Structure formats: C-alpha cells, structure tokens
Amino acid sequence: MYTTRILTLGLVCALSCATLPIATAQSSFSSGSSGSTRQPDKPTTPWAKDISDGLDVNLIGDILGPGISDHLGVGTGDLGIMAPLDEGEEFAIIFGDSFRGNNFGQGDWLSPIGVVAEMDDTGRIVITRPLNDSHQVEQLVDYSHNARGLTLLPSDVININGTLFMQAMWNEGVGNVLHTQIWQSQDQGRSWDSVDTIPTSYLDGQANLITWEHDPENNWVYMMSSEFKRRDDVYLTRFRPDDFNHRASWEHYSDGTWGTNYSPILDDQVRAGEMSLRLIEDHWVLSMFN
C-alpha cells in the first residue's frame, strides 16, 4: 500500500513496539552527502556496525545533497516528516533545521521547510519541488533566527481530509522549549495559519514533542507525546479532528480510562526521542529513538 511504502522508508531509527489501548519522527532521516547506491542483494548500514536483533536496515539513498536537491536551493536537512498529499502519489516531507549549503550549518538557516516528493520504480524518494509556492524552498513560517539559537522544530504533520496540521516546538537553543504551536494548511502546504499555541506547562511539559495519527474508522486523532529531552516517558491523548484548537476536549489515557488524568503508557526504561505513530495496514506502529 501507498502508506506502507512511505513509512517503511521513513523509519531510520530504533523500533519500539507497544500494545496500545486503541483499536503511529516522527519519521526521521537526514542527509548531507551524495553518491550512495542501493545493493538489493546485500543490506548496507554504513553508519552503524551493530544493528538490533530482528531489525533489518537498508540504505536506499540520500534525500538531500549535491546533485540531488540543488534545484530546491537546499543542501542539508534534519528530520523528515512524511505526510500524504491529495495529488496522486505525491507526498510532503517536512524538515527541521536545514541549510542552503552542502554541509550542516553552512548557508542560510531555515526551519521548518517542506518539499513535495514521490517514489520512483526502484523505491527511491525523488523530491520534485518545494512545498511552498516558490522556485526554491523557504521557511513555512515567517520568523527570523537569532543569536540565542531561536528555531522552530516540527514534531509531526498529519493530513485530515485534505487539511495539513503541523505541530512544532519553539526552541531558543535546542531542548529549551519556549512553547509549542499548531498550524494548518488548506492549500497542500503552500501557506500556513496558526491554530493554537500551547504552553510548556501543558501535561507538565510532557506534550512538547508529539506524534499523531488519524484513525478514520472511529474518527479519533491519537497523539503520543513526551518532553523534548530524550529522557522521559510517553503519554497518550486523543481528540476529534475538529478539536485541534480545543484542548479542553482532549482526552488523556490513564490506567485503562480516558479523561483528564494522565499517566505514561511507555515507562519501562524509556527515554523517548523523535517519534512516529502511524496506522499501517490496520496495525498501529510506533517508531522512536530510545
């Protein structure tokens, strides 16, 4: 299936599986070099010597880099959140800290940015054009970075009936989250409007880093969340697609019930980093750094 193909290539991180009380970084990848080739008969993992038991990792190819993304005016990018668009087999990829140069930190600093991509017959991701309405990628949100390291880092993007919703964290120095914000785009990611601003005190700070997915069968959006420090547990929240900006209607999971109380659903030696929750062929799949 289309969704399965996207998520399979997007999961370049350790897998963590859990039985959720329902019925999925963020897919995460980055690239700053070129020249990689696929070897179908031999899995290749040049960045890691030790791979966890039961996990097969295959390097398909670079996403950004010289000779790959020059036509977009960007050479490097962090993260890489995939979300389907409503135009055939095309999908969006949202990057966090990105640079116009060929090395991370080189050239103009942009975050977040978005591109439109598709898969070719070999399974490679091919970026075709910027998500924004321009000849080169631009920041999806208009602001300026400062000397204290102000940057807006996306957590996840979701497509609900043709409207894209993006949650992102305002950082002034990575890990120093000022607050988070939700935007929506009704024109396939070309422009974005603010939906809600959420203080870091919400859920005692355990809702800064999020991932979400829509279950069309019961019409809930399920959101898994944690603090943005790669040292905390994971929590579960749900809400209706019309309630992105109505937090009073959000329900949290705790000890078998939904309501205003909340407790971790993953807490056994968990130090959650970038997460990606997706519904793939009727299976809820969570990938994350731990």
pLDDT for 70: 94
pLDDT in tens, the chain (290 residues): 333 333 333 333 332 333 333 332 333 333 333 333 333 444 456 666 777 788 887 777 889 999 999 999 999 999 899 999 987 899 999 999 999 999 999 999 999 999 999 999 988 999 999 999 999 999 999 999 999 999 999 999 999 999 999 999 999 999 999 999 999 999 999 999 999 999 999 999 999 999 999 999 999 999 999 999 999 999 999 999 999 999 999 999 999 999 999 999 999 999 999 999 999 999 999 999 99
Taken in order 7, 10, 15, 16, is the CA torsion positive or negative? Answer: negative
Q: Which residues contact 49 (CB under 8 A, 6 or more apart)?
A: none
What is the predicted pLDDT for the residue at 245? 96
Dihedral, 100, 103, 106, 110 alpha carbons, nearest 10: 40
At 47 the pLDDT is 67
Which tokens hold the place of 64? 């950004």
pLDDT of residue 123: 85
Beta bridge partners of 180: 169, 198
| Residues near 121 by beta carbon (within 8 Å), at least 6 away in sequence | none
**At CA 217, angle to CA 215 and CA 222, rounded to 5?**
20
Question: How open is the CA angle 183-188-193, to the nearest 5 degrees?
Answer: 25
- Ranges of beta strands (E only) in the chain are 76-77, 81-84, 91-95, 98-99, 109-110, 113-119, 125-130, 150-160, 163-172, 177-185, 193-199, 209-215, 220-226, 235-239, 251-254, 257-259, 275-280, 283-288
For 249, list phi and psi in degrees, rounded to 5: -95, -5
pTM over 0.85: no
Residue 158, judged by CB atoms within 10 A of its CB (0-12, 13-18, 19+), counts as: buried
